[in-house]
Amino acid sequence: MTCKQLSVFIENRKGTLSEVLNVLKENGVSILSMSLSDTTEYGLLRLIVNDADLGKSALSGAGFSSIVSNVFIVKIPHVAGSLQELLIKIEKSDINVEYMYGLSIENDDAYVVFKPSDAEKTAKLFEENGVATLTPEDLLKTKL
């Protein structure tokens, strides 16, 4: 099962991140996970939020460029090698992991956000291998 991720393109200057977060806050968009990467001139803020479409609309109205894309939040046993085992299955299925980042939840498992090259194929692979995926609604129910 995929979930929507909000990606925001932001200028790499003091205060821009705060402006983005303020727009989300003022529109009732809660951040469940985020990753920020940068280059010299811009940053890419990836967010798992309670309402990606509302976040995109609010940010657009405030002059920020953003996109909504489908990603997987994957539950992985917190055991050495678990992520590698999953990555091997993905690779053998001829799927590329375009990016991923960790997600912290207070329990005994690890969680990773994946953006694969082929969402349908990945969903089938996860289902066939009993890989648990989550939605933002699941995260809201989980003790963070």
pTM exceeds 0.95 for this model: no
With DSSP H G I counted as helix, E B as strand and the rest as coil, what are the percentages for the chain, rounded to 5? 35, 40, 30
Please, what are the domains in the chain?
A: 3-70 (3.30.2130.10), 73-141 (3.30.2130.10)
Token pair for 57: 């609309």
Q: Is residue 120 helix, strand or coil?
A: helix
Task: List, for residues 69-117, the tens digit of each pLDDT value.
Answer: 999 999 888 788 999 999 999 999 999 999 999 876 666 666 778 888 8
Token pair for 84: 């590698």
